[in-house]
Structure 1
Amino acid sequence: MKMPRILIVEDNSHMLAFLNATLERHGFIPVLTSDCEHALRTIALAPVDLAILDYRLPGQTSGLDLARLIKQRDARLPIILITAHSTENLTIETQEARIDDYFPKPLAIKDLLVSIQRLLASRGLCTRPASAGTGGSVPGLIDAHRLVGSAAPMQEIKAYIRKVAQTDSNVLITGETGTGKELVAELIHKNSKRAGKPFICLNCAAIPESLTESELFGYERGAFTGAYAAYEGKLKQADGGTVLLDEIGDMPLSAQAKVLRLLDKKTAQRVGGRRDVAIDLRVIAATNQDLDALMAAGTFRRDLYYRLNVAHISLPPLRARRKDIPLLLRHFICEFNTRRTKQVRGIASELVERLLQYDWPGNVRELRNMIEVCLIDLDTHLIDFTHIPEQYRVKLPGCGINEKEAILSALLSTRWNKSQAAQKLHWSRMTLYRKLTKHHIVSSRSETEHDTPVLSDTEVSHPLLDVTPV
């Protein structure tokens, strides 16, 4: 089932955050912006299914003006206007601008959701009922688009998340670093009956061992030096919701015992306390470590393992689902296009082949980081080998041959300007000179005037990388 994309143009950050959370909870994909120019660029890059516009926007363009511009591009796109000043004249103007519906502030969110459902249905889009995301049985998975992947393992994981979310069972998520364990935990929470309550992520490896118990379970006033006031603890802050104990393998044994009691009794004692505090939450644990080895070494409790490992999700490494790499590339390019107002169309096909051959030890996170670095100062519509930073380029298969091609491409594109070529390659000038010597690339005055680099070794062709987008 397609998840409708809804553009929200609102300059009030609090209203923007509220609409974002509300629409996500009801199974939509919010596309956020606060100004007209960015809104038009966003629609041009990735079409949306509906637009929600605030009447008053920064600059001289109002929500009405923006609606007219949008309708010129797509007359069928449904538009909802939000205004703090509803008048008879405004009603007439919205009709003239062909706005489909409008709501005064403060918003009646139920009425807004009904209007969204009606307008999307008029375009033949199947959507969730307005009560979706409240814990009822739903056919789809809220925010499923964030877990990118069409490979069989990912489809099975998405289906399992949907089933597990409807229960209140504890979940253990395992997988290598960068595979998306925290994202899976968020999806379980958002699709559960606890979705309206807090979701708190605690990185057990980042909390000093001496502070683990007090940070998780809280402490009473005077429990230790510096405890001038009582603190309820992170777990109590998640009361009614879900807590993710990330890097659970790094939790000290003393804290493991208290977590076990919490899972058994739904109560815990604060440091320095004498009474039990009731805590109602769902526990999801995640780790990239081998818990069997930790249990054998005596650093992880077996009884806690069995309490946590009720439902188990094992996330595959990226090298086990290489067919998802092009999908992830498109997803991250779209994400950074929106964030940085870029207009990158894709990646050269030969480069994609190189990326498919790499093992990605950092998995999805490493792939995302690479795309983010590429787009920092990218001024073209296509990512090719010359745009890949050296820290990634040297890891790609066949990088020795393509390094020469990359240098030649950069020199040709900058008319043999070595400073610009070095900048394009993300190198210093000294690094470029060293690489020119390594690959026996020389120039003379006559060749420079004709923009032609010369190879002093055997004749080598140097076609530019294929510019076919992904």
Structure 2
Amino acid sequence: MEKPNILIVEDEDENIELIKLKNSCCNNGLTIFETSYKTVFKTYIQKKNIDLVLLGYAHCTISNVLNIANRIRYMDRHIPIIMVTKNSSEEIAIAALRIGVNDYFKHPFKEEDIMESIERCLSKNDAEKPLLPKASLELCDEQEMVGARSAVMQSVRMHIKQTAETDTNVLITGETGTGKELVACLIHRNSKRAKNPFVCINCTAIPDHLLESELFGHEKGSYTGADALNTGKLQSAEGGTVFLDEIGDMSLYHQAKILRVIESKEIQRIGGKHNIHLNIKIIAATNQDLEQMAENGRFRKDLYYRLNVANINLPPLRERKEDIPDLLQFFIRKLNKKYQKDIEGFTADAVKDLMFYNWPGNIREMKNILESAFMNFQTSWITLMDLPENFRTKVMQARILHYSEKDQLLNALVTTNWNKNKAAKQLKWSRMTLYRKFAKYQLNPEKRLMNDV
């Protein structure tokens, strides 16, 4: 069996604890590669078979270390990362774990504790290496979550992992096109039910008068046209996961039926005389405000509380614009493969322009616009002018609005000598709105604090 390869990244040479740890690793049959923070990515890329990364820093700034951990996690979402620090705090620990660091130690540490952590991480990583049929691997690759660099999407990743480890019901909320079905699939694929069916039911697509038969099934001859036994979608998901998409569109009558399934874990087919036990996990999704609908009597409160045991809210793309470049490149790769093209990507100016746009249709809008225009792309690099005219107009309007607002803000600040109170009054904004605009346009008013009263 090949020895596991451990990459140890450190920012000081004479760390006695790390020297002892390296000796222990070698004595336990591990191969050690060492590198500094300045050359970590060069080493990581050259040594393509790294099995675990240990970040042992003392003097390097925490922001740099967390950035390195984040980039490693982005390059490989499976590789274990262990962090060892002399400068520790609860905030640093939380930030590290949110990025996806597997374990976290503070100096002074016990050598045997880290060796146990390394062994545990390597064992877990081996266990998670896919042993499934090729078809399942391809599905997993297609369902990979792309564009999750933003802090809010890192939080979503964490919630997916947490909910996948339990059998609790999950409610996924978010605007149309934010990827609710993808998240439901990821929860299933990372759960103990992954080898069993994942059954998606679109509550909007099935006519109301057919929904009961589709969900619960029917016996042969139970009604006119029931020529054969239908087991129903709920029973077909036995041992796996049922995804109820757009559950806010389900009638109150069928909501009561679903509530009974959740409470009793049983169904009865139309025309059937016996209850059938079910072993399923239920995930529901909606782009509507179910809590408000429940207050208005349009959604059952008891069902809402049953579904909302765990909640994952997907942010719209306009609130995670730092993910746009990765998403654009992801769709280019997929469409290149689909249409047998070799397009490199978007020019820097085009990406900058697309960052101004608010994407009301979210990721689905991006995918549809690119696919509709893809066959017309004739160059290696896509510019804004290569995109459909109506969409291009919207992007240019967003760009004009962006600069117009920024110009108004800068003009108000200059004319008031950077007095924030006076600038806010001149613009008829609240102080909080002013601060949000500072962040949006990356302005630094602190340099002029002496003029602020």
Structure 2 match to 1:276: 275
**2: CA distance between counterparts of 1:216 and 1:207?**
10
Q: Residue 7 of structure 1 corresponds to which residue in structure 2?
A: none
SS of corresponding position for 1:275 = coil
Contact 2:202–2:246 under 8 Å retained in 1: yes
Separation in 1 of the partners of 2:178 and 2:399?
Answer: 29
Question: In 1, Cα distance between the equivalents of 2:128 and 2:257?
Answer: 37
Moved more, 235-244 or 342-351: 342-351
Equivalent residue number for residue 317 of structure 1: 316
Q: Secondary structure at the match of 2:377?
A: coil
**Matching residue of 2:224:** 225
Distance 1:248 1:264 in 2: 17
1:16 corresponding residue in structure 2:
none
Point out the more displaced range, 147-156 or 187-196: 147-156
Residue 214 of structure 1, CA deviation: 0.7
Rounded Cα–Cα distance in structure 1 between residues aligned with 2:352 and 2:285: 32
Q: Does 1:391 align with 2:406?
A: no
Displacement of 1:376: 1.5
Amino acid at match of 1:158: R
Question: Contact 1:185–1:244 (CA<8 Å) still a contact in 2?
Answer: yes
Q: Which amino acid aligns with 1:390?
A: E
- Matches of residues 146-165 of structure 1 in structure 2 within 5 Å? 146-165=145-164
Structure 2 CA distance, aligned partners of 1:391 and 1:225? 50
The verdict on how the C-alpha distance between 1:315 and 1:400 changes in structure 2, with shifts beyond 3 A counting, is closer
Structure 1 residues 387 and 305: CA distance shift in structure 2, 3 A: same
> Per-residue deviation at 1:130?
4.7
Q: For 1:57-72, list aligned pairs within 5 A.
A: none
* RMSD between aligned residues: 2.5
SS at match of 1:396: helix
Q: CA deviation at 1:132?
A: 4.5
User: Which residue of structure 2 lines up, in the alignment, with residue 350 of structure 1?
Assistant: 349
Give the 3 Å change call, closer, same or farther, for CA 400–349 of structure 1 in structure 2. Answer: closer
Structure 1 residues 276, 133: CA separation in 2 closer, same or farther (over 3 Å shift)? Answer: farther
Q: Is the CA contact (8 Å cut-off) linking 2:353 and 2:384 kept in structure 1?
A: no
Answer yes or no: is 1:251 the counterpart of 2:250.
yes
1:296 offset after TM fit, Å?
A: 2.3
> Following TM superposition, by how much is the alpha carbon of 1:226 offset from its aligned partner in structure 2, in angstroms?
0.5
Q: Which residue of 2 aligns with 1:301?
A: 300
Cα 1:363–1:263 shift into 2, 3 Å: same
Give the percent of matched residue pairs that are identical in Structure 1 and Structure 2: 50
**SS class of match (1:395):** helix
TM-score normalised by the chain length of structure 2: 0.57
4+ aligned runs moved over 6 Å, structure 1: none
Would the aligned equivalents of 1:354 and 1:397 in 2 still touch at CA under 8 Å? yes
Cα distance change on mapping 1:357 and 1:209 into 2, 3 Å: same
Q: Residue deviations 1:317-372, cap 9 Å, x none?
A: 00000111111111111111122221111212222222111111100111111222
In the alignment, the residues of structure 1 paired with residue 252 and residue 270 of structure 2 have an alpha-carbon distance, to the nearest angstrom, of 16
Conservation of the 8 A alpha-carbon contact between 1:133 and 1:192: no
Contact residue 133 and residue 191 of structure 1 kept, 8 A: no
Shift of 1:212: 0.8
Q: Per the alignment, in what secondary structure is the counterpart of residue 285 of structure 1?
A: strand
CA–CA separation in structure 1 for the residues paired with 2:363 and 2:195: 28
Quick check: 2:146–2:326 contact (8 Å CA) kept in 1? no
- Which residue is equivalent to 1:238? 237
CA displacement at 1:146 relative to structure 2: 2.6
Shift of 1:400: 10
Q: Secondary structure at the match of 2:394?
A: coil
**Does the 8 Å CA contact 1:203/1:245 hold for their aligned counterparts?**
yes
Q: Are residue 128 (structure 1) and residue 125 (structure 2) matched?
A: yes
Structure 1: where are the runs of 5+ without partners?
A: 1-48, 51-124, 136-141, 402-470
The alignment partner of 1:177 has SS state of coil
Q: What is the CA deviation profile of residues 90-125 of structure 1, one whole-angstrom value per residue up to 9, with x for unaligned ones?
A: xxxxxxxxxxxxxxxxxxxxxxxxxxxxxxxxxxx9
The residue that corresponds to 1:364 in the other structure is 363
Aligned twin of 2:108: none
Please say if 1:190 is aligned against 2:201. no
Residue 206 of structure 1 aligns to a residue whose secondary structure is coil
Q: Residues 319 and 126 (structure 1 numbering): CA distance in 2 closer, same or farther, change over 3 Å?
A: farther
The alignment partner of 1:245 has SS state of strand
Note if contact 1:243-1:282 (Cα within 8 Å) is conserved in structure 2: yes
Query: How far is the alpha carbon of 1:131 from its aligned partner?
Result: 5.1
Q: For structure 1, which segment, 374-383 or 125-134, has the greater mean C-alpha deviation from structure 2 after superposition?
A: 125-134
- Separation in 2 of the partners of 1:169 and 1:134? 26
Cα deviation 1:67-101 (Å, max 9, x = unaligned): xxxxxxxxxxxxxxxxxxxxxxxxxxxxxxxxxxx
In 2, Cα distance between equivalents of 1:400 and 1:292: 36
- Show the counterpart of 1:206: 205
Query: Is contact 1:162–1:188 with CA below 8 Å preserved after alignment?
Result: yes
SS in 2 for 1:379: coil
Counterpart residue identity of residue 218, structure 2: Y
Q: Deviation per CA, 1:360-412: give whole Å up to 9, x if none.
A: 110011111122223223121011122101231121134899xxxxxxxxxxx
Q: Specify the alignment match of 2:327 in structure 1.
A: 328
SS of the residue 1:328 aligns to: helix
Which amino acid letter does the alignment assign opposite residue 128 of structure 1?
N
Whichever residue aligns with residue 291 of structure 1, its letter is L
Q: Would you say the 8 A contact 1:171–1:283 is kept in 2?
A: yes
Return the TM-score normalized by structure 1.
Answer: 0.55
CA distances 1:415-448 after superposition (whole Å, capped 9, x unpaired):
xxxxxxxxxxxxxxxxxxxxxxxxxxxxxxxxxx
Query: Does the 8 Å contact 1:358/1:396 carry over to 2?
Result: yes
- Cα deviations by residue, 1:260-317 (Å, 9 ceiling, x for unpaired): 1111111011112221111110000000011122212322111111111111000000
- Which deviates more from structure 2 when the two are superposed, residues 346-355 or residues 209-218? 346-355
- Give the superposition deviation at 1:145: 3.8
